[in-house]
Amino acid sequence: MQSLRWRIIIALTVLVLGLAYMLPSLPGVQGSSLAKFLPGDSINLGLDLKGGIHLTLGVDLDTALENNLDRIGDDLKAVAKEDDIYLLRPTVMPGDKIQAILLKKEQQEAFEEIVKKNFESLKIDGTEAMDDGRVRYVFGITTEYRKYFTKMTMEQAIKTIRNRIDQFGVAEPDIRRQEGNRIQIQLPGIQDPERAIKLIGRTAHLEFKLVDETANPQGALPPGSAIYQMQRRLANGTYAESPIVLKKDTVLTGEFITNAYVSYDRNVPYVGINFDNKGSRIFERLTGDNVGKRMAIVLDGKVYSAPTIQDKISGGRASITGHFTDEEARDLAVVLRAGSLPAPINILEQRTVGPSLGQESIDKGIQSAYIGMIAVLVFMVIYYGIAGAIADLVLVLNIMLIMAGLAAFGATLTLPGIAGIILTIGMAVDANVIIFERIREELRRGLTARAAIDEGYGKATLTIFDANVTTVIAAVILYNFGTGPIRGFAVTLTLGIITSMFTAIFVSRILFDAYVKNRADSTKLSI
Amino acid sequence: MGLQFIKPDTNIDFIGFRKIAFIISILVILAGVGSLILKGGPKYGIDFAGGMIVQVKTDNPVEVKELKEALKEVELPGMVVQSFGQEGDNEYLIRTSSSDITSAEVRDQVSSALSANLKNAKYEIQRLEMVGPKVGADLRSKALEAMFYAVLFIAIYISGRFEQRWMAAAIMAGGLIGGQWVLGFTGLDIGWTIIGMLFITVGLCWYLRLNYALGAVVALIHDVMITVGIFSILGKEFDLTIIAALLTIIGYSLNDTIIVFDRIRENIKGQDKANFGSLINKSINQTLSRTILTSGTTLLVVLSLFVLGGGVIHDFALALLIGIGVGTYSSIFVASPILLGFGPATIEEEGDKATA
């Protein structure tokens, strides 16, 4: 009994803390003068409750690696050339390999030295002397490089996506890398999901290529040229495509862009871009060397425009015109500013919930929780009398602590999470029922009220502990293997079990001890 | 004292009913398995099978037939239109099995078809979900893994906690990890691997005479099988929330079983060990009051979810309703009789405990 005071102090401390953490989540308290004295955290609502987009994206690492090998091959040729070693244009082969043909057999040693010195990522998989004195090399990539490449590509993809989303202005985006090549994105409260998805998934690989004026799209193509599709927006809003022949070599890419913005020319929007110093120099030389020729602006493999170069352009500015709508121009500026994705991206999973559905779900969920809870509360008082009222009191306290816990840990409340709370109500009642039934048994054996309570709590506590530990095991596993909403359920269930152990064993014991304090010799209890 | 549903001197012979109970259980399980075989396995929702769902809400009631008519020109593979939630919600689901088309295309096609052909009602697209086939398969194997590990860890915990035989529990864990490793080589589908693992679990419990764990594990496999079977018979779909419900059922079923077992363990101390059956009966009767009250209050809450919770959690609540009912039944009629079946060993081992 001595310790009753201390137990009351502990219980009250938890109660006050719980109240402080729970209150900010109530709609009436937010923004009121009371809110200033409370912690700032309120309960995070899941996407299923407030509406928004959940996306799982798969980064196409294979394509990214292939493109990268292509670049490495070009480098290889260029670096070797500096030492007067000549290679046929290296090609990428299936299985992430590069094939390169060395023209002169006697340069083998020097060539291998260059590879070893400059290309740590490559390993020689095989050499084969050919009849005409040439040597065929097959290069593979080292496992370290593959790991490094995967990591870099994923990091860059996430960074680029984050930049784009930031530009889009979403309040609390959640972007995280998942196992393998997957990225998970959650965007709460988005109004126009399709536009957001388009913006995120666009590769935005910008290239400048020269138009091959000598070739005819219908005729045979000269080596080094290829057919592209030029896109044109018609007056009715649809697009038409026409073939155009471009030189394969890319003269400039989007990697030198420092800024992109929307401007208007006679009310027609276009996207202006600024280059950094290096980009400006390349662009100046390029335009100077090709006056009178046409230069195509290629975005993600589609030609947007192919203006004729009138004059040398210095100052590092260029513009992309292409009969855009305002929105298209804005989105294009966003993706160019945010940088291009290092690899194409596929949408593997998409869940879009409209805000109205979220509101309806939460209303119904909360309503059914209230009704279920009230039914239980009424039942407990009818069945157990004053003891039932004590159980009810700690039950309400329990729910408050769950809410406080959710807010304090920054956990997310989802619809299955509400179901988890409701289930916890059932389980919390269980703890009290186990205790009460034990006390009843002990009273029947003729123990005094106080002794029966001591015995009842003592024997029930272990049982409750065993029963709850198994549920916590299930919940922890659920959390580890689950995704989104299921995790929410696991969190509320775990939180609910922990708080119910505290309230049903610790707090209710205080109330019982206080209740029998002055009737130690009685054998009667309202239970 | 307040109300009492169960008189303190109640003594129902539960163990005496065990044969009838086994027959009932086996029949229900067979019906479920039969339904699964007839229907070619569980009916997976888009979470596991991949595909797309568009949820549409209209301001006026619309017949599903009318909606189908309006969407006729939208040619989506395997398109199904169905009403959703309760009557008066005016909510409908349009599903397609394909995830080749983009969600934007589906949204556009559905909107334009509905705007053109749905004359009497305004509509709103409330939800659109797309799951690719690869992600679906991943989610499925993850969900199965979660169920399996839940059972494994719980079996180990019970063996250690109830019989203080942590060594035996450790041997079981080792055996299971080894078994999983071996099964990994067979290259079987994750579903079969898990069925194999469950057999190993039950076999190990039996061999190592981990009787409490055996009773509890068999009871919860029983509960999950019955719930899955009833879901299959009712033609309900399995998605992520149903897995959450199944795991909750596992937790709840164990909760119930453990409280009965706890009482059995307590009653064993200083008792005449000859009549284990009547000891079990006594324990079940002593905890009967609690069992009925807890199941009753939990069912009350879940029932409120089922009736009032709205379409999104309707099936979730249904799974919980079935599972909690079956879980209560199994702790009395399945778990305890199994403990009895292997009982005498348990009592003898009480004496060896110190050396174990």
Q: Say how far residue A190 (Cα) sits from the centre of its chain.
A: 15
Q: Do A368 and B55 touch (CB under 8 A)?
A: no
Say whether pLDDT at B144 is over 90.
Answer: no
Does A416 reach chain B within 8 Å, measured CB to CB? yes
Question: Tokens for B84?
Answer: 């959703």
Does B207 reach chain A within 8 Å, measured CB to CB? no
Mean pLDDT over residues B256-277, rounded?
81
pLDDT digits (tens, 9 = 90+) for B75-103: 777 888 888 877 777 888 888 887 677 77
Q: Specify the higher pLDDT residue, A355 or B275.
A: B275
Cβ contacts (< 8 Å) between B156 and chain A: which residues? none
Q: CA-to-CA distance for B122 and A253, rounded, in angstroms?
A: 48
Task: Place A78 in a pLDDT band, splitting at 50, 70 and 90.
Answer: confident
DSSP-based three-state secondary structure for A479: helix
Number of other CB atoms surrounding residue B202 within 10 Å: 17
Q: CA-to-CA distance for A34 and A29, rounded, in angstroms?
A: 7
Range from A301-310, A475-484, B320-329 that averages highest in pLDDT: B320-329
Q: Please give the helix or strand (H or E) that residue A295 lies within, else none.
A: strand A295-299
Radius of gyration for chain A, computed over Cα atoms and rounded to the nearest angstrom: 35
Q: Chain A, 145-164: which have a CB under 8 Å from a chain B CB? A: none
Say whether pLDDT at B355 is over 50.
Answer: no
pLDDT at B352: 42
Q: CA-to-CA distance for A494 and A468, rounded, in angstroms?
A: 9
Q: CA-to-CA distance for A122 and A141, rounded, in angstroms?
A: 5
- By CB neighbour count within 10 A (0-12 exposed, 13-18 middle, 19+ buried), where does A482 fall? buried
Q: Using CB atoms, which residue from B124, B296, B316 is nearest to A356?
A: B124
Mean pLDDT over residues A339-358, rounded?
81
pLDDT at B316: 86
Q: CA-to-CA distance for A319 and A206, rounded, in angstroms?
A: 12
Q: CA-to-CA distance for A455 and A449, rounded, in angstroms?
A: 10
Cβ contacts (< 8 Å) between B286 and chain A: which residues? 441
**Using an 8 Å Cβ cutoff, are A436 and A384 in contact?**
yes
Q: What is the DSSP letter of B13?
A: -
Cβ contacts (< 8 Å) between B132 and chain A: which residues? 58, 346-349
**Using an 8 Å Cβ cutoff, are B168 and B346 in contact?**
no
pLDDT digits (tens, 9 = 90+) for A422-452: 777 777 888 899 999 999 988 888 888 888 8
Q: CA-to-CA distance for B159 and B166, rounded, in angstroms?
A: 7
Tell me the sheet residues that pair with A102. A87, A135
Task: State the sign of the Cα–Cα–Cα–Cα dihedral B227, B229, B230, B231.
Answer: positive
Cβ contacts (< 8 Å) between B317 and chain A: which residues? 419
Range from A8-17, A185-194, A215-224, A316-325 that averages highest in pLDDT: A8-17
Q: Using CB atoms, which residue from B8, B251, B296 is nearest to A444?
A: B8
pTM reported for the whole predicted model: 0.78
Say whether pLDDT at B180 is over 60.
Answer: yes
Mean pLDDT over residues B242-246, rounded?
83
Nearest CA in chain A to B149: A477
Pairing of strands A302-305, A182-188: unpaired
Radius of gyration for chain B, computed over Cα atoms and rounded to the nearest angstrom: 24
Best of B312, B315, B316 to mutate (most A CBs within 10 Å, chain A): B312
Task: Place B273 in a pLDDT band, splitting at 50, 70 and 90.
Answer: low
Does A322 reach chain B within 8 Å, measured CB to CB? no
Percent of chain A with pLDDT over 90: 12
pLDDT digits (tens, 9 = 90+) for A96-110: 899 988 888 888 888
Question: Tokens for B282?
Answer: 């006594």
H helices present in chain B, as ranges: 18-38, 46-49, 64-70, 103-117, 133-163, 166-186, 190-207, 211-233, 240-268, 276-308, 311-330, 336-341, 343-352
Tell me the sheet residues that pair with A244. A228
Task: State the sign of the Cα–Cα–Cα–Cα dihedral A365, A371, A374, A376.
Answer: negative
Q: CA-to-CA distance for B311 and A489, rounded, in angstroms?
A: 17
User: What are the backbone dihedrals phi and psi of residue A183, each rounded to the nearest 5 degrees, phi first?
Assistant: -130, 135
Cβ contacts (< 8 Å) between A459 and chain B: which residues? 266
Task: Place B112 in a pLDDT band, splitting at 50, 70 and 90.
Answer: confident
Task: State the sign of the Cα–Cα–Cα–Cα dihedral A233, A239, A244, A246.
Answer: positive
Question: Tokens for B80?
Answer: 């199904």
Question: Tokens for A525?
Answer: 């209890």
Nearest-CA distance A510 → chain B (Å): 20
DSSP string, A298-349: EETTEEEE-PBP-S---SSEEEE-S---HHHHHHHHHHHHH---SS-EEEEE
Q: Do B294 and A354 touch (CB under 8 A)?
A: no
pLDDT at A389: 93
Q: Please give the helix or strand (H or E) that residue A10 lies within, else none.
A: helix A4-22
**Largest pairwise CA distance in chain B:** 81
Nearest-CA distance A156 → chain B (Å): 23
User: What are the backbone dihedrals phi and psi of residue A447, each rounded to the nearest 5 degrees, phi first?
Assistant: -75, 155
pLDDT at B103: 77
pLDDT at A424: 79
C-alpha distances (whole Å) from A96 to each of A61, A62, A66, A470, B212 are 11, 8, 7, 49, 55
Does A7 reach chain B within 8 Å, measured CB to CB? no
Does A469 reach chain B within 8 Å, measured CB to CB? yes
pLDDT at B348: 44
pLDDT at A266: 85
Number of other CB atoms surrounding residue A200 within 10 Å: 24
User: What are the backbone dihedrals phi and psi of residue A137, each rounded to the nearest 5 degrees, phi first?
Assistant: -110, 140
**Using an 8 Å Cβ cutoff, are A434 and A463 in contact?**
yes
Q: Do B290 and A348 touch (CB under 8 A)?
A: no
Does A192 reach chain B within 8 Å, measured CB to CB? no
Number of other CB atoms surrounding residue A152 within 10 Å: 13
**Using an 8 Å Cβ cutoff, are B78 and B141 in contact?**
no
Does A187 reach chain B within 8 Å, measured CB to CB? no
Does A389 reach chain B within 8 Å, measured CB to CB? no
Cβ contacts (< 8 Å) between B314 and chain A: which residues? none
Q: CA-to-CA distance for A335 and A328, rounded, in angstroms?
A: 11
DSSP-based three-state secondary structure for A276: coil
Nearest CA in chain B to A179: B138
Does A423 reach chain B within 8 Å, measured CB to CB? yes
Q: Do B290 and A384 touch (CB under 8 A)?
A: no
Average pLDDT, chain B: 82
Q: Using CB atoms, which residue from A349, A372, A379 is nearest to B131?
A: A349
pLDDT at B99: 63
Does B129 reach chain A within 8 Å, measured CB to CB? yes
Q: CA-to-CA distance for A401 and A17, rounded, in angstroms?
A: 9
pLDDT digits (tens, 9 = 90+) for A29-56: 766 777 677 777 778 787 777 788 888 9
Nearest CA in chain A to B262: A463
Q: Chain B, 8-27: which have a CB under 8 Å from a chain A CB? A: 8
Mean pLDDT over residues A320-325, rounded?
79
Q: One-letter amino acid identity for A293?
A: K
Does A239 reach chain B within 8 Å, measured CB to CB? no
Nearest CA to B293 out of B6, B30, B1, B29 is that of: B6
Does A443 reach chain B within 8 Å, measured CB to CB? yes
Q: What is the ipTM for the molecules in this complex?
A: 0.81
Q: Do B310 and A361 touch (CB under 8 A)?
A: yes
Q: Specify the higher pLDDT residue, A379 or B163.
A: A379
pLDDT digits (tens, 9 = 90+) for A137-159: 999 999 999 999 999 899 988 98
Q: CA-to-CA distance for A186 and A166, rounded, in angstroms?
A: 13
Nearest CA in chain B to A462: B262
Q: Chain B, 294-323: which have a CB under 8 Å from a chain A CB? A: 294, 296-305, 307-310, 312-313, 316-317, 320
Task: Place A392 in a pLDDT band, splitting at 50, 70 and 90.
Answer: very high
Does B194 reach chain A within 8 Å, measured CB to CB? no
Mean pLDDT over residues A115-125, rounded?
87
Mean pLDDT over residues A114-132, rounded?
86
Cβ contacts (< 8 Å) between B299 and chain A: which residues? 426
Strand order in the sheet with A97-102: A91-93, A97-102, A135-141, A122-129
Question: Tokens for B74?
Answer: 């939208």
pLDDT at B70: 83
Say whether pLDDT at A136 is over 80.
Answer: yes
DSSP-based three-state secondary structure for A203: coil
Nearest-CA distance B311 → chain A (Å): 8
Q: Using CB atoms, which residue from A367, A379, A493 is nearest to B308?
A: A367
Q: Do B128 and A463 touch (CB under 8 A)?
A: no
Cβ contacts (< 8 Å) between A425 and chain B: which residues? 301
The CA-based dihedral angle spanning residues A127, A131, A132, A137, taken in that order and rounded to the nearest 10 degrees:
-10
Q: Chain A, 24-53: which have a CB under 8 Å from a chain B CB? A: 48
pLDDT at B346: 43
Q: One-letter amino acid identity for B264?
A: I
Tell me the sheet residues that pair with A137. A100, A127
pLDDT digits (tens, 9 = 90+) for B20-40: 999 999 999 999 999 999 998
Q: CA-to-CA distance for A254 and A283, rounded, in angstroms?
A: 11
pLDDT at B343: 54
